[in-house]
Amino acid sequence: MKLTVLTAVTGLVLLLIIFELVRRRQLREKYAVLWGAVGIVVLPLGFFPRLLDTVSHLVGVVSGVSLVLFLGPWPRIPRCCAPRSETFRLLIQPKCWLTKRVRWPMINGKRVLIVIPAWNEEASVGHTVGEVCGELPDVDVLVVDDGSGDRTCEVAREAGAIIARLPYNLGVGGAMRLGYRYGYEHGYDVVIQVDADGQHDPRYVPKLVDALDEADFVIGARFAGEGDYRVRGPRRWAMTVLSAVLSRMAGTRLSDTTSGFRAANRRTVELFARWYPVEYLGDTIEVLVRLLRSRYVVRQVPVTMRPRRAGIPSHSPIKSTLYLARALVILVLSMVRR
């Protein structure tokens, strides 16, 4: 009698766990079908003792609990204890909650993925990953190596990041498209872009996540009243024009439309996994135009920007003038593109 009750309870609990994991998008469909089938098979065994005895003797086990473990031996390596490499982390492996407590990356009840696009950033990416992991131990960090020619990939992996490596340089837009696709396919509620050069302070990440309660896309703004970050010359003129046009479209003030510190909710991540421009400045200007024209809610949160940890910023007069011209051209093209 005790054996049949235990078997029935085991099957019922298994089905409830599967239902909850699917509801939270923490279990992929094919694994949900597999484990759901196991639960459906085990549940009626509790009500038919003779059938339970027959199956138990056939497989050489003595209880429904053991039967569940027997029927589901694969995959042997649970997600929570698999190596931090793209090969294993791309798999969601359902036996983890049967073998070891799962640490889902959560901030305020949301599964969060930090995506760091990096191109030849070996001098700074290790510190950036380490700082994010130290400040936000409950998030996952994905570094997209954008065809680097140095040790960016190795340094990021040693610092504890998940690694995705592009075969050649696509730019920030191409790297982030891969990051959003990874976040969407793995069921994250929030994907946040953070630069590899150390300028973005991870302590502001929870504020960006909180702001997503009332928005689809949140920008960490440098010129919104916090910090003393300054930009001068043609680059500043371009930012002023962009801010004026896009603020009018958004119906709210957007003071830093080219910021690379930004957060997207699940709805926006789904869009970006299917569409995300790779052209220069398209990942900032065109993205905002597309979101606003599609009636996504865009907001900003004041943040403090820090100096680059490594590398030399490109702020020469010639490059700033070219930036102004390109920004205006891309804004016009984005406005007229269907």
The pLDDT, as a whole number, for residue 72 is 45
Q: pLDDT digits over 222-241, tens only? A: 876 666 666 666 777 777 88
The count of residues in the chain is 338
Ramachandran region, residue 244 (left: φ > 0; alpha: ψ -120 to 50; beta: rest):
alpha
Top pLDDT among 125 and 45 is at 125
Highest CATH level, class, for 106-336: alpha beta
**Residues 292-295: contacts with CB within 8 Å, 24+ apart?**
292/246, 292/249, 292/250, 293/249
The pLDDT, as a whole number, for residue 306 is 87
Residue whose structure tokens are 């994905």: 142
The pLDDT, as a whole number, for residue 90 is 37
The pLDDT, as a whole number, for residue 89 is 39
The pLDDT, as a whole number, for residue 43 is 63
Domain with CATH 3.90.550.10 in the chain: 106-336
The pLDDT, as a whole number, for residue 91 is 34
Q: Which percentage of the chain shows pLDDT scores above 90? A: 46
Q: Which percentage of the chain shows pLDDT scores above 70? A: 62
The pLDDT, as a whole number, for residue 99 is 31
Mean pLDDT of 286-300: 94
Write out the two tokens for 217. Answer: 């896309």
Top pLDDT among 92 and 207 is at 207
The pLDDT, as a whole number, for residue 180 is 97
Write out the two tokens for 88. Answer: 């294993």
Q: pLDDT digits over 40-69, tens only? A: 766 666 566 666 566 556 555 444 444 444
Residue 73 has pLDDT above 80, yes or no: no
pLDDT range class, residue 21, cuts 50, 70, 90: low
Please give the torsion angle defined by the CA atoms of residues 297, 116, 306 and 109, in that order, rounded to the nearest 10 degrees.
Answer: 50
Q: Where are the alpha helices (DSSP H) in 121-215?
A: 125-135, 152-159, 172-185, 205-211
The pLDDT, as a whole number, for residue 296 is 97
The pLDDT, as a whole number, for residue 322 is 66
Write out the two tokens for 72. Answer: 């589901």
The pLDDT, as a whole number, for residue 13 is 74
pLDDT range class, residue 210, cuts 50, 70, 90: very high
Residue 162: closest CA among 263, 89, 110: 89
Helix (H) or strand (E) holding 195: none
Residue 271 has pLDDT above 90, yes or no: yes
Phi first, then psi: give them for residue 170, nearest 5 degrees.
-110, -10
Top pLDDT among 336 and 65 is at 336
Q: For the packed helices 234-250 and 317-336, what is the interaxial angle rounded to 10 degrees?
A: 20
Average pLDDT value for the chain: 77
Calpha distance 223→229 (Å, rounded): 7
Residue 196: closest CA among 272, 261, 107: 261
The pLDDT, as a whole number, for residue 167 is 92
The pLDDT, as a whole number, for residue 312 is 56
Calpha distance 17→149 (Å, rounded): 45
Calpha distance 119→122 (Å, rounded): 8
Reduced to 3 states (helix: H, G, I; strand: E, B; else coil), residue 328 is helix
Residue 76 has pLDDT above 50, yes or no: no
Q: pLDDT digits over 94-107, tens only? A: 333 333 334 455 78
The reply to whether omega before 75 is within 30° of 0 (cis) is: yes
Strand partners, 165: 145
Least confident of 132-141, 278-287, 321-330: 321-330
Q: pLDDT digits over 142-176, tens only? A: 999 999 999 999 999 999 999 999 999 999 999 99
Q: Where are the alpha helices (DSSP H) in 86-171?
A: 86-89, 96-99, 125-135, 152-159
Residue 198 has pLDDT above 80, yes or no: yes
Tally Cβ neighbours within 10 Å of residue 61.
16
The pLDDT, as a whole number, for residue 284 is 84
User: How big is the chain by its Cα radius of gyration, in Å?
Assistant: 24
Calpha distance 190→265 (Å, rounded): 5
Within 8 A by CB and 6+ apart from 138, the residues are 103, 105, 106, 107, 112
